[in-house]
């Protein structure tokens, strides 16, 4: 009887796994802006809607929007210049740039669809407009690269396989750990792709991409000597990012 029950569980687990594998295959599409094949489970309109809906909550978590209109205007001007002078202009996304009041968290991030944020803690450490362009260009790269949408679809896939593993042979924990490691690695690749796109956007808008290296130095100093090892983080080590940024500058500077 136990063997029969195990066989049934294995068959059910296999069926669930096959379903999610076929689902993932059906969601493969080429990103028209990067040329990379991705797993995507939502439309650009859905990405935009998620970003707009989530933006107020994200702002609230960082103390709301900064009250200085001049600073906000600078962020808007640099962000819009990057968009309007590059291929980002020809995408369906609606880019909006927000300066957050948070004086402590040195951070910038993008929501799906074009909502882009930078904290005052990071903004205040930037030395010039070019470095601000480096930060915002990187975040525009996340939007255009559809990284959030890709991570959502990939997470659904690995959760499905973990469920199949749990039903079939108590392997859900192992599959889940493999999935988490895969998502971490993919997250680091997203950061490097966004750095490269940021370099391209800076050059197209007339900014000096070498200043993005200065941004990496600021992030490196902020993390301090006890920063999380790269293999445990979704972000590559700043030194590795600097090397890739230099490669991107050489790649695009004569185009």
The CA distances from residue 84 to 79, 95, 219, in Å, are 9, 10, 27
Note whether residue 2 is domain-resident.
Answer: no
Q: Classify residue 199: in a domain, yes or no.
A: yes
| Segment 185-204, tens digit of pLDDT | 446 788 899 999 999 999 99
88 in a structural domain: yes
| Residue 145 contacts residue 34 (beta carbons within 8 Å) | yes
Which position has the token pair 């802006």?
Answer: 33
- pLDDT at residue 249 is higher than 60: yes
pLDDT at 130: 97
Q: Does residue 4 lie within any of the structural domains?
A: no
192-247 pLDDT, tens digit per residue, is 999 999 999 999 999 999 999 999 999 888 876 655 444 344 567 778 899 999 99
pLDDT recorded at residue 71:
97
Please report whether residue 3 resides in a domain: no
Query: In the predicted model, is pLDDT for residue 183 greater than 50?
Result: no
Please, what's the b/e burial string for 132-144 (b: 16 or more CB within 10 A of its CB; e: otherwise)?
bbbbbbbbbbbbb
154, 96 contact by CB (below 8 A): no
CB 143 within 8 A of CB 110: yes
Tallying the residues shown for the chain, one arrives at: 255
> Quick one: pLDDT at residue 176?
44
Question: What pLDDT is recorded for position 112?
Answer: 86
pLDDT one-digit tens code per residue, 37-73: 877 767 889 889 888 998 999 999 999 999 999 999 9
Range(s) of the domain holding residue 67: 9-252
Looking at the structure of the chain, the number of domains it has is 1
Q: Mean pLDDT score of the chain, rounded to an integer?
A: 79
Lowest mean pLDDT among 12-26, 86-100, 131-145: 12-26
pLDDT at position 226 is 57
Beta strand pairing status for 96-100 and 115-119? parallel
């Amino acid at each position: 009887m136990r063997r029969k029950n195990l066989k049934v569980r294995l068959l059910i687990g296999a069926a669930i796994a096959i379903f999610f594998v076929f689902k993932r295959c059906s969601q493969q599409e080429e990103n028209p802006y990067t040329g990379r094949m991705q797993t995507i489970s939502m439309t650009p309109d859905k990405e935009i809607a998620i970003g707009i809906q989530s933006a107020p909550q994200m702002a609230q978590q960082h103390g709301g929007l900064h009250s200085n209109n001049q600073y906000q205007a600078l962020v808007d001007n640099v962000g819009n210049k990057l968009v309007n002078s590059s291929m980002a202009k020809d995408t369906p996304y609606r880019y909006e740039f927000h300066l957050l009041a948070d004086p402590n968290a040195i951070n910038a991030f993008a929501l799906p669809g074009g909502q882009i944020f930078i904290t005052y803690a990071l903004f205040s450490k930037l030395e010039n407009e070019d470095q601000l362009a480096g930060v915002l260009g990187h975040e525009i790269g996340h939007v255009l690269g559809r990284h959030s949408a890709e991570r959502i679809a990939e997470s659904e896939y690995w959760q499905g396989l973990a469920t199949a593993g749990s039903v079939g042979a108590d392997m859900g924990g192992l599959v889940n750990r493999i999935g988490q490691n895969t998502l971490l690695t993919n997250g680091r690749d997203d950061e490097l792709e966004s750095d490269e796109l940021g370099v391209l956007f800076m050059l197209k808008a007339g900014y000096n991409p070498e200043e993005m290296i200065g941004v990496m130095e600021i992030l490196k100093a902020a993390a301090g000597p006890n920063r999380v090892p790269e293999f445990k983080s979704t972000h590559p080590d700043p030194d590795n990012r600097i090397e890739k940024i230099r490669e991107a500058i050489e790649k695009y500077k004569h185009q």
